Amino acid sequence: MRVLVTGSEGFLGQHLSQFLSEKGHEVVGYDLALGHDILNAEQLRISLNGCDVCIHLAAVADLYIAEHNPKAAQEINVDGTRLVVEICDELEIRMLYASTCCVYGNNGLEKSDESSVVAPTEHYARTKLEGEKFVSTSNNGHVIMRIATFYGPQMRESLATSIFLRAASAGDPILIHGYGEQTRCFTHVQDICSGIVVVMEKVGFEGIINISDNREISVNRLVEITMQVVGESVEIKYTPEREGQIFRSSIDNSMLRRLGWFPIWNLTDGLRQCVEMTPMAGES
C-alpha cells in the first residue's frame, strides 16, 4: 500500500514510517519538519493523491503545550483533522486517525472498551475527541484509533517514562504528582506500530479501536521498575496532584487481539531498551 503518514517526523511517526517500510509499504511523509502544513488544503491534496491510506498522527500531542497554547491545539488537532477527513473523503482514501485513550478520562469504569463513556479531563484529550467527531460522521470507512500512553527509544522528553529514566540515571530525586497510585497501560511504541498496521491491513475494518497493552501499572510501580532497570535507588518526592490528572487508565484491547495483534514488549524490557539506546545523564 502507498501510505501517507501525517506527523511522520514525530516520535511515533518515525517509528511507524520505518515499521511500514519494513512491512513492504510505500511511505509518504507529511510533516512540518519537511515543509508541510496540515492546514494547507492544496498541499495535503497533492500529497494524498495516489495514496491508499492516510494515517493521521499530526497533532499538538504534549499535554502541557496543549494546555498553555489552546489555540494551536484547536487549529492542529481539530481544524487539521477536519481538513484531512474532508480531503480523504474527496479522494476516497481510507483514513486512520490517531486519537487517545485519554478521552476515557476519569469515567469511573473498571476497564474501558470502545463503547465506554468518554470523560476527558485535559485540553489535549478534549481536542482529540472533537477530532473524532469528523471521522465518525464520515461515511468512508475511516478508523478512530484510541492509542495508549506509549514509550520507547527517542521518546519525547516530557513523557513520565523519559523524565524518570533521566532522573534515576543522574541520581536525582524522582518527582511524582499525587500519591503515585494513578495507573496507565504503558505500551511500547513498536507494539503501537504493529497494532496500527494490523488495523490498516484489515481492509474493511472501520469504527473505533483501542491500541493499547492491557496491563495496568501504577506510577509507583513504574518508578520501581525504572530504578531496577537503571540500577540506581534514588529519592522519591511526592508533589501536589497535577490538574486534570487521570487517576485510573485500564484499557480493554480485546477487539485488537481478535484482529490478530498481541504485544511483544513488557515494561521492564522496554525501559531497558530505552536505556541501552538513548544517552542518559552524564553520557555523550
Domain spans, the chain: 2-277
Given a cut of 50, the residues of the chain with pLDDT beneath it are 281-284
Each residue's pLDDT tens digit, 118-175: 999 999 999 999 999 999 999 899 999 999 999 999 999 989 999 999 999 999 999 9
* CB distance 49 to 36 below 8 Å: no
User: How much is the pLDDT for 279?
Assistant: 59
User: How much is the pLDDT for 283?
Assistant: 41
Region of 65 (left: φ > 0; alpha: ψ -120 to 50; beta: rest) is: alpha
For the record, the C-alpha cell of 97 comes out as: 486517525
* CB distance 251 to 109 below 8 Å: no
CATH of segment(s) 2-277: 3.40.50.720
| Whether pTM exceeds 0.85 | yes
